[in-house]
Amino acid sequence: MSRNELLARGYMARSEGEVALTKDDQIRLNAEIPEWDIASEGETKLVREYRFKNFAAALDFTNRIGALAEEVDHHPLLTLQWGQVRVEWWTHEIGGLHRNDFVMAARSDLAYEELDV
């Protein structure tokens, strides 16, 4: 599945009883969003740091990610500082990564690409 396929398939409601993706599935999907790291900080998460020319641009991006999150009621951990935003996606209810986390990471990348940074 390519990043464009992730974006086209979009965010899908989770079924009851779904579990976190296997390590193999995580690696396969992560290949489509290579700027993202799979980190095990307690729970397994997708992590990426985006760079900006100033605080205002970083704040604008943070707000864009917040709007994307609100659309699907799936919220990342966002860390904002001067010239940088760290985004972490994971699915709390399953204690790890779901395909939707990869979709939201791809959407985050698209939002970044749409900015003049």
Which pTM was predicted?
0.91
Q: Which residue has the higher pLDDT, 83 or 15?
A: 83
pLDDT for the residue numbered 48: 98
Q: Which residue has the higher pLDDT, 9 or 22?
A: 22
pLDDT for the residue numbered 96: 93
- The residue behind tokens 């939002």 is 111
Buried b (16+ CB within 10 A) or exposed e, 85-102: bebbbbbeebebbbbbbb
**Which amino acid does the sequence have at 7?**
L
User: Model confidence over 32-83: pLDDT tens digits?
Assistant: 999 999 999 789 999 999 999 999 999 999 999 999 999 999 999 999 999 9
Both tokens of 106, joined, read: 């791809």
pLDDT at residue 1 tops 60:
no
Contact 117, 21 (CB under 8 A): no
Angle at 40 between CA 35 and CA 44, to 5 degrees: 80
pLDDT at residue 109 tops 90:
yes
Cα atoms in the Cβ-side hemisphere of radius 13 Å centred on 16? 0
CA 40 to chain centre: 15
Q: How confident is the model at residue 2 (pLDDT cuts 50, 70, 90)?
A: low
Query: What is the C-alpha separation between 113 and 61, in angstroms, rounded?
Result: 10
Contact 35, 67 (CB under 8 A): no
pLDDT for the residue numbered 116: 73
Q: Which superfamily, per CATH, for 3-7+20-113?
A: Transcriptional coactivator/pterin dehydratase (3.30.1360.20)
Both tokens of 32, joined, read: 């489509």
Kind of pairing, strands 77-81 and 43-51? Answer: unpaired
